[in-house]
Chains A and B, each alone.
Chain A
Amino acid sequence: MNVELTELTRRFGHTQAVAGVTLEAGPGVFGLLGPNGAGKTSLLRMMATALPPTSGTLRLLGRDPGGYGPRREIRRRLGYLPQNLGYYPGFTVADFVEYFALLKDMPPRRVARAVATAIEHVGLGDKARSKLRTLSGGMLRRAGIAQAIVNEPELLLLDEPTAGLDPEQRVAFRALLREFGQRSTVIVSTHLVEDVAAACTEVTLMDTGRLVFHGTPDELIARGEGSGAAGDAPLERGYSAVLAAARSGVAARS
């Protein structure tokens, strides 16, 4: 298993962002769904080793990120696209991707080709020498995806990767997800259930820091059938039904 989480929690003061999440993931594309404030970003940041858990067990790529050596090894084999991608306006796309390839400790001889491959992969070949400040939001997002995949990661964590992408780019991006999912663990946090339906082999739904559903997209769809839950698409109805059931359960307990 590339990702093993056991009773993982994260608190910020009195707020519990992630509340005892237990999850295992091997190769494949995993959709992480949930409303705003559900704890998706905090969970992804913990898996990206950018945020330590408050309690619980976290093992990534068979290693414990608590120690310096294992954490460094995990980071070499990790790709991460944060929700708010910071960038250096004066860098070109190629500079930006190369910068993170070097910080990921890639062998210098491999960097130039890996950068070119990643940039072509996200369809930014004609913008490789353009400064980041001249790019549109969608192009910046793709530059962010390029830095995440430049090291051919075994664990790829993407927080709202399709935000700002046009429909054509989203289709291409889903193909990229499926390709990486064949050999790596790809975890995608998104609000867009159509991305999940098109690309994900498994879906995890979070609400108020808790994991309230884990299964295949078909299983999530089945939860919505006959439930009368709101939604235009079958997966949206499943999403609404699971959330409603989770919240009514919480309300019943409280």
Chain B
Amino acid sequence: MIGDELAGGYRDTGPGPGDVDLDRVWLGVAAQVWRRRPGPVERAAGRLLRSPGLARALVTTPSLLLGWVIATVVILLAGIGFTLGTGRPWVALLAPAVAAAGIAYAYGPGIDPAWELSQSMAVSDRMVLLIRALAVFGLNAILGLAASAASGAAAAVTFGWLVPMTAACALALAVATATRSPNTGAAAGMSGWLIVILSAHAAGATFAAVITDSALIAPYLAFAACCGAVAWFATRIPRGTS
């Protein structure tokens, strides 16, 4: 063991003070050797959130890991290609569905292996969920806006899907937390958005209408608020009866 080597090495250097606690020395060395250096994102999040625990939980979000982000970018790049090729706002239609899936996989008993342990931690799992959901939403919004702008969509389309994305994400989060299943949450968010698009199309409107029609903003926001309330209720920590 390194500790033994260290101890031997210390003894080989000649007589030293007899009361040196080598275990203590070794622990100091081990603490430095095993210490994980947080990356720039985690350091920035730690400063912003004023909680290294929350920052650490944030950078372990499944739907913020590199593989997931790459998959999101690939889907949006495909959306740019389809938009440029067909003239339909594919990026704007895809972005809410992709974001909804990401939100569903942000945190929860179905996706976090250490969920049981997390429930007994000082940094509350509800706060972890909130921070992770906001981060996933923010990242997806930035990627979607960039993709939408790159596809040459009109400003109404580029920004119009942010509100429906909020509703789809809220639905995914509410279902994922209520059913304790990220798969169900993702399916609900994506299929809910698909139903909205197909319903509008069946009613004779264009695909872009679900994004650009200002009359839909209030219903989208009201629906998102209701779903948010469901998620808030589903993740509450029931008060003890003590």
Q: Are B241 and A86 in contact, with the CB atoms below 8 A?
A: no
Decide if B28 is an interface residue (CB 8 Å cutoff).
yes
Chain B residue nearest in CB terms to A58: B242
Decide if A55 is an interface residue (CB 8 Å cutoff).
yes
Chain B residue nearest in CB terms to A148: B117
Q: Are A99 and B56 in contact, with the CB atoms below 8 A?
A: yes
Q: Are A56 and B122 in contact, with the CB atoms below 8 A?
A: no
Q: How far is the CA of A112 from the CA of B28 in the complex (A)?
A: 9
- CB contact under 8 A between A56 and B114, given known A72-B122, A119-B30, A119-B34: no
Q: How far is the CA of A105 from the CA of B121 in the complex (A)?
A: 8
- CB contact under 8 A between A103 and B121, given known A56-B242, A95-B36: yes
Chain A residue nearest in CB terms to B118: A103
Q: How far is the CA of A17 from the CA of B235 in the complex (A)?
A: 23
Selected contact of A104 from candidates B23, B34, B121, CB within 8 Å: B121
Q: Are B53 and A105 in contact, with the CB atoms below 8 A?
A: yes
Min CB distance A190 to B, Å, is 18
Min CB distance A156 to B, Å, is 12
Q: How far is the CA of A139 from the CA of B122 in the complex (A)?
A: 26
Decide if B123 is an interface residue (CB 8 Å cutoff).
yes
Question: Which residues of the other chain, A, contact B242 by a CB distance below 8 angstroms?
Answer: 53, 56-59, 64-66
Q: How far is the CA of A105 from the CA of B35 in the complex (A)?
A: 17
Decide if A48 is an interface residue (CB 8 Å cutoff).
yes
Q: Are A86 and B115 in contact, with the CB atoms below 8 A?
A: yes
Question: Which residues of the other chain, A, contact B60 by a CB distance below 8 angstroms?
Answer: 88, 99
Chain A residue nearest in CB terms to B55: A102
Q: Tell me the number of A-to-B contacts counted with CB atoms below 8 Å.
A: 128
Q: Are B122 and A84 in contact, with the CB atoms below 8 A?
A: no
Q: Are B117 and A80 in contact, with the CB atoms below 8 A?
A: yes
Selected contact of A52 from candidates B112, B114, B237, CB within 8 Å: B237
- CB contact under 8 A between A112 and B35, given known A105-B123, A117-B27: yes
Decide if A113 is an interface residue (CB 8 Å cutoff).
yes
Question: Which residues of the other chain, B, contact A213 by a CB distance below 8 angstroms?
Answer: none
User: Beta-carbon contacts of B116-132 to A below 8 Å, as 1s and 0s?
Assistant: 11111111100000000
Q: Are A120 and B117 in contact, with the CB atoms below 8 A?
A: no
Selected contact of A128 from candidates B30, B53, B238, CB within 8 Å: B30
Q: Are A125 and B113 in contact, with the CB atoms below 8 A?
A: no
Chain A residue nearest in CB terms to B29: A116
Min CB distance A153 to B, Å, is 11
Decide if A236 is an interface residue (CB 8 Å cutoff).
no
Decide if A98 is an interface residue (CB 8 Å cutoff).
yes
- CB contact under 8 A between A116 and B121, given known A94-B34, A129-B34: no
Q: Are B114 and A88 in contact, with the CB atoms below 8 A?
A: yes
Decide if A50 is an interface residue (CB 8 Å cutoff).
yes
Min CB distance A147 to B, Å, is 7
Decide if B40 is an interface residue (CB 8 Å cutoff).
no
Q: Are B240 and A64 in contact, with the CB atoms below 8 A?
A: yes
Min CB distance A33 to B, Å, is 22
Question: Which residues of the other chain, B, contact A116 by a CB distance below 8 angstroms?
Answer: 27-28, 30-31, 34
Decide if A85 is an interface residue (CB 8 Å cutoff).
yes
Chain B residue nearest in CB terms to A5: B242
Min CB distance B90 to A, Å, is 34
Question: Which residues of the other chain, B, contact A94 by a CB distance below 8 angstroms?
Answer: 34-36
Chain B residue nearest in CB terms to A59: B242
Decide if A136 is an interface residue (CB 8 Å cutoff).
no
Q: How far is the CA of A159 from the CA of B30 in the complex (A)?
A: 29
Question: Which residues of the other chain, A, contact B32 by a CB distance below 8 angstroms?
Answer: 112
Decide if B11 is an interface residue (CB 8 Å cutoff).
no
Q: How far is the CA of A117 from the CA of B30 in the complex (A)?
A: 9
Q: How far is the CA of A95 from the CA of B59 in the complex (A)?
A: 13
Q: Are B240 and A113 in contact, with the CB atoms below 8 A?
A: no
Min CB distance A115 to B, Å, is 7
Min CB distance A11 to B, Å, is 12
Chain A residue nearest in CB terms to B27: A116
Q: Are B122 and A105 in contact, with the CB atoms below 8 A?
A: yes
Min CB distance B106 to A, Å, is 15
Question: Which residues of the other chain, A, contact B116 by a CB distance below 8 angstroms?
Answer: 50, 82, 84-86
Interface residues of A (CB under 8 A from B): 48-50, 52-59, 64-68, 71-73, 75-76, 78, 80, 82, 84-89, 94-95, 98-100, 102-105, 108, 111-113, 115-117, 119-120, 125-126, 128-129, 147
Interface residues of B (CB under 8 A from A): 1-3, 23, 26-28, 30-32, 34-36, 51-53, 56-57, 60, 112-124, 237-242
A–B complex contacts, Cβ < 8 Å, 17 sampled:
A49-B119, A49-B120, A55-B241, A67-B239, A68-B124, A72-B124, A89-B113, A99-B60, A102-B52, A103-B53, A104-B53, A113-B27, A113-B28, A115-B34, A125-B2, A128-B30, A129-B34
